[in-house]
Each structure stands twice: as structure tokens, then as C-alpha cells.
Amino acid sequence: MSLTFEELRRANLDRLPDFPSGQAEVTWSPQDWACAMGGECGEALNLVKKLRRLGTFDELEKTYSVAQLIDYIGQELADTLMYLDLLAWRLGINLEEAVRCKFNQKSDEVGSKVKL
């Protein structure tokens, strides 16, 4: 099943009042959303580091399997994306349009005909 930027935004905003702070949509600054996003991205990076080390450090295999790490990385990337969407919302950025524009700009830079 596919997911659109619009569906993610709608669900993110609908769920905000359910969080313990209750007022995150009003009280969280762009910096708060950015730090939350950065924290989740950092967690994903740490797991990627562990995944790379699995091939060289046998001790890690006692704690994590490759499949577990990949699953955890996916969860952290999803958290990162959800906070990214909320940061974009807080700043009034249409994330779908921003991604489309930047993707096409990068395609032009590298001489690719692939566009969104």
C-alpha cells in the first residue's frame, strides 16, 4: 500500500493532540522539531554503524542480527521522516513540492532525464 505526503501530513497533524505535551503544535518551535528529527536520524546512523561492524566484530552478533538491525534502522528512518514532515509543516513548507523541485534540480545538475 502506498503512502502520500498528504496522507502523512494529515495523520501527523491529527495525532499531535494525543502526545503527552498536548500542545506540541502550538508550543514546539522549528528548532524543537529539528532537534527531534536529528535525534531520530542519529539513532538510525548509530544502527547503520553497528550494521557495518557486524562483519568485523563477532561480539555484536551476540546482541543483534542483521535482520534486527535493518528492522530497527527502518523504524528510526520512519521516525526521522515523521519529524521531518512536522518540521516542514511548522515552517509552512509544502514538502511534496520541495522534494519535487529539488529532485528535478539535481537531475538537471547531473544531466539526468529522470524527473518527478
CATH of the domain at 100: 1.10.287.1080
20: Cα within 13 Å, side-chain hemisphere: 0
pLDDT tens readout for residues 90-107: 999 999 999 999 999 999
- Please give the grid coordinates belonging to residue 60: 555484536
User: Has residue 24 been placed in a domain?
Assistant: yes
In this prediction the pTM is: 0.85
Residue type, 33: W
What digits encode the pLDDT tens for the residues 19-40?
A: 876 666 668 899 999 999 999 9
Q: How many structural domains does the chain have? A: 1
3-state DSSP assignment of residue 69: helix
The boundaries of the domain holding residue 40 are 5-110
**116, part of any domain:** no
Return phi, psi of residue 19, to 5°.
-75, 155
Q: Is 64 part of a structural domain of the chain?
A: yes
